[in-house]
Amino acid sequence: MTVKPAFRRRAAGFIAVCSLATLSGAQEYTSYQRDQAQTMLHEIASDVRKHYYDLQFHGIDWDAKVRDMKDAIARADSMNMALAHIAAALDSLDDSHTFFLPPSRPYLHDYGFHMQMIGDRCYVIRVRPGSDAEAKGLKPGDEILAVNGHATTRDEFWKFDYIYKILRPQASLRLTLRGASDGERRADVMAKFRQLPRIQDVTGRGIFDIIREMENEAHSMRVRYAEKGDDLLIVKLPQFLFSSSEVDTVLGKMCKHKGVVFDLRGNPGGSEETLQFLLGGVFEKDVKIGDRMGRGWTKPLEAKSRHKPYTGKLVVLVDSKSGSASELFARVIQIEKRGAIVGDHSSGSVMEAQHYSHQIGTETVVFYGASVTEADFKMTDGQSLEHKGVNPDTLILPTASDLAAGRDPVITQAAEMLGVKITPEEAGTFFPYEWPKE
């Protein structure tokens, strides 16, 4: 299950944000690039036409939409805007898992800070030491009111992640901020760009850059634990991409504790196999997750109880960045009354999609593609989580002062529900964020 944060939105609003995202020094838009963009649109529109789960396209005249975007690409004044029109065509389907995968950039970029919706407000949650963001005075707990003049709202937050990180990375972001003590202010934060090695360099020193990136990714995606004796184990699960044996290792640690907290905050999901393995490890019976519904077919998805499942108490943590498989896990626990859900409302991005890849060009090959939803998903209560998400049993939102001080009141609340006392200050030290090595 692939993931993009998903909420209700309109393509017109999408283009409005893209129009504000323009790198300085844009190159001339050539007829060759225009033809490339038209080819990309044609191939991706065909993928949607062939594979999208809803033959009615949610009431959208897909062929008419594609024609409109073809005309828009012909009128575009830059390749960036042409790619934005392709993305807007897919966005018009209002589907969390159907989106454009533009040609990759020959560099890595880092804005030096992370932001997140907490409740209905957007906050800076961390700042990289030594970054321009730190130099410009950004601090955890600062509220972000606007990015490049566009207001930050929960309904449209997905645009910032997608546009500024994937579709159109920016040399800088103009932020409108409000601090706890200094009122409203503005800051132009410069991104740090690092050129990636050329493909032909992989036999030389460039191979070590690639290995380092792979090691960084593997390290950041590992399972982490925090223990409080035999009474409590906190499992930080960053994704649902683990094998059966890796899940068994997690379950083996869990079985030594009376209570377990699954921390799925920030977890975007992953594979349904990992979801099945993990759910099967916390139920003494087989449990139905829900129904996958594609073009004219419906197939149940179930989790088989595993050998010696964990039978202790469970609390699951979610937030606005918990998506897909992590939402399904939390909702099954909630529906089956297996444990409690604590934290913020989850992202509401629960569909089943397939990635389709393409390439264009001869001497210089450009790779691109699209994620296309091939199945909707209904829970056993008959409801879909798409655009709705999981409503926690106990809503706990860190405050600006919590973020600034590094406190974690969510873990504190979860631990208390399992009979263990942990201060928010101590909880905030359990899983320190690890910035990727440069």
* Tokens standing for residue 351: 């569909």
Q: Residue 228 burial (CB < 10 Å; 0-12/13-18/19+)?
A: middle
d(CA 112, CA 254): 35
Per-residue pLDDT at 372 exceeds 80: yes
- Stated pTM of the model: 0.90
Per-residue pLDDT at 10 exceeds 80: no
| Homologous superfamily, domain 217-349+378-427 | 2-enoyl-CoA Hydratase; Chain A, domain 1 (3.90.226.10)
The 10s digit of each residue's pLDDT in 79-114 is 999 999 999 999 999 999 999 999 987 778 899 999
* Domain-wise residue ranges, the chain: 107-194, 217-349+378-427
The 10s digit of each residue's pLDDT in 180-211 is 777 899 999 999 988 766 544 444 444 445 44
Q: Strand pairing partners for 376?
A: 293
Sign of torsion, CA 376 382 387 393? negative
Q: Would you state the pLDDT for residue 202?
A: 42
The 10s digit of each residue's pLDDT in 264-292 is 999 999 999 999 999 999 999 999 999 99
Q: Would you state the pLDDT for residue 9?
A: 40
Provide the edge-to-edge strand list for the sheet that holds 259-263: 224-228, 232-236, 259-263, 313-318, 340-343, 394-395
Query: Which whole number is the average pLDDT over 151-160?
Result: 89
d(CA 137, CA 143): 13
Same fold, 107-194 and 217-349+378-427: no
Which residues 6+ apart lie within 8 Å of 334 measured at CB?
341, 390, 393
d(CA 95, CA 221): 26
CATH of domain 107-194: 2.30.42.10
